[in-house]
Amino acid sequence: MTETRPTRGEGAASSADGRPVTEVAVGVIIRPDGSFLLAQRPAGKPYAGYWEFPGGKLETGETVAHALARELEEELGLDIVASEAWRVLEHDYPHAYVRLHFCKIHNWRGEPVGREGQAFRWHAPGGAIDPAVQPLLPAALPVIEWLAAELPR
Ligand SMILES: Nc1nc2c([nH]c(=O)n2[C@@H]2O[C@H](COP(=O)(O)OP(=O)(O)OP(=O)(O)O)[C@@H](O)[C@H]2O)c(=O)[nH]1
Domain around 92: 21-149
Report residue 17's pLDDT band, with 50, 70 and 90 as the boundaries: confident
Residue 124 has pLDDT above 90, yes or no: yes
Q: Is residue 108 part of a domain?
A: yes
Residue 100 has pLDDT above 60, yes or no: yes
Closest CA to 10 of 64, 102, 84, 90: 90
Ligand 1 mean position to 135 CA, how many Å? Answer: 15
Q: Is residue 92 part of a domain?
A: yes
With a 6 Å cutoff on the Cβ, whether 91 touches ligand 1 is yes
Mean pLDDT of the chain: 92
Report residue 11's pLDDT band, with 50, 70 and 90 as the boundaries: confident
Q: Is residue 7 part of a domain?
A: no
Ligand 1 mean position to 3 CA, how many Å? Answer: 26
With a 6 Å cutoff on the Cβ, whether 5 touches ligand 1 is no
The confidence score (pLDDT) of residue 127 equals: 79
Best residue among 98, 120, 123, 147 to mutate for probing ligand 1's pocket (most ligand atoms within 8 Å of CB) is: 98
Q: Give per-residue pLDDT as tens, 20-48.
A: 999 999 999 999 999 999 999 999 888 99
Report pTM. 0.91
Q: Report how many domains make up the chain.
A: 1
Ligand 1 mean position to 53 CA, how many Å? Answer: 9
Q: With the C-alpha atoms ordered 91, 39, 122, 131, is the resulting torsion angle positive or negative? A: negative
Question: What ipTM was estimated for this complex?
Answer: 0.92
Q: Is residue 99 part of a domain?
A: yes
CATH number at residue 117: 3.90.79.10
Q: Is residue 10 part of a domain?
A: no
The confidence score (pLDDT) of residue 10 equals: 58
Q: Is residue 5 part of a domain?
A: no
CA distance 40 to 72: 13
Q: Is residue 16 part of a domain?
A: no
